[in-house]
Structure 1
């Protein structure tokens, strides 16, 4: 079963998108090859749901994280070798030699460039294979099937001729035909595996180097039956000086009811948590210390729900449809992470109170999922305390210093009593300005 989510969640958390400002994909995209970038994009769109697969990928990233390696290929050589290896050749040595003889004749008579491009591409491919072989001799690599397969291919008896072929060494037409037939026909499967391996190597090095620079760590995936999430410090990966907060979610307390004033940091904390869950399911480094999590079937958020004027949807109705979508997934028995920021803010206070209370109570009965629900309507929390035993209540405080609010962004147990909206309005002198 694959990890389920949707575009709304990816947009809320700004996960994907090469051209999306400050997206998580852009943060990690320090790849050197087009193939590496495409592979990274696929990983971002295909989180994993198997604990063993997640931990295995994390272990590979950790291996490179600890060694601080650089991508071993020059961009020019790699691009030329990649273009050459992507082409086809004859199925027999005689066919290759005949075609090459024709190209050389055209080169000598009308200065056709095909022969020179062929020779340059082949030499670049040989250089690439030798460079990879040298790299793997110096780096043991993690014990994965992919690494072992490539090592075996490069150390096989039929590739020993590579050791005697140096970059820039002139080759005869006979050698060119022989090597081309060997690389692009006899070893076709192996060279495709090697190219794919290099794209993975590109991603491993790029991502681990970003993680090291930002002091990210690696989460441990647990079976879903454990039904636990814990971390001593969750923060937002795109903020360099983000305040980190601890959090534990488990079956006995699977709902976090979050309150706090505007600008106190509720949305940022909820995004941080959603991103940590998503990146951990990818097996990627996370901005969370000592993180352990039971794998979930999916993640849904409702943070920036847009209205849809073309369909005649108001903001409130769009919120209702969003809650309905998530409720359907929860009711089907999926183990989910659900994050709702400011439920039903598109309607009046009375309806918002009733709806928030009813929806939170109903969702809380599904103890196989984790829920984080924030609201300004703090009275809801007082009622939920009396009716639900599996909620934990936290808030992000506002500290007033000389009538000026300060936000420490530290998660605090309880329900906020902060009511400083009018103080902020008065500080901005809005009413005085209008009276004048």
Structure 2
């Protein structure tokens, strides 16, 4: 694939850059010091960007919601949907890359609408009914409805086929019971797409459905924040106790949830990967600058590691560009390869960041006080948060299994066969 930027792309770049410069809110306006990383909503985000406000997070949530609506009014949401008529402008693949990169380069706020725009919307376009598209896509395009993802459970994280959340049909509704965990931004979301078992006689990936469920159901939906190593709480536990979802809001039809869920995960790694790499580059530049300023770069071993990080980041960019436009990229294991590359790379950068700081990495930054007992320096935050990079979004072990089976053609791991009524199906 010849992936290059033409004159129309550069004009689009100027438009995006000018709009961001004129409209970025508050601290994010200007030189891009407070950059988002492009990954915030999909994987829980870097908690500095999603850190709860002192009032319990309400002010932060309001500000992020207002920013989503501003993006929607200007037509910047849904560039890659490839289906118009829902309030979004359409853009070529290269223009989508331009927008993602300029957004990250400008230091724009972390997106709270990422899950609705980049996961739910493409899934509805591929599998949804006309009624579902008409109901949900315009609200996402306007930045008015935020979404979270109800996949992982305490006993079904990487093994997603083991979900035990149930949805029982009662007339025109489903009654949902169960627990989800590591649900990014559930405390801000209006809706959740929930993978649940609607056909109890089936096991594993059979008999699952993907339901669209409203979160505002007091007494039926409970959200409990999970405090992370970084001291912030972007992830949540979500408990469904008889929560209701309309039968007309099952995506792809009852019992087809596994196929729809796997399709959704295929949308998870796309253009935003390139924006993420701009955030990585900024972090690497900060580590290199500190290594030079402190003299740590004089150590030839550490200097070699910094050069390797720089070179590997360039390789990740070209790999992402090479695979981005391939129609069969998912089948060729490209998303799994990308996840393996950036997860380990980012962990190594976190380790380098604290190594460069030396003993100072064990001490809190200036400004620590009793009323803010858990302040972290950038290097400390990077190190702690990146511990999760090889787990969330599909652990490294799962990604290697996908590559082994789908790309290399190695024998599949033994798995129990699905049964119905005691008989294999």
What TM-score comes out, normalization by structure 2 length?
A: 0.22
TM-score, scaled relative to structure 1: 0.22
Q: Which has the higher contact order (CA 8 A, sep 6+)?
A: 1
Q: In terms of Rg, which structure is larger?
A: 1
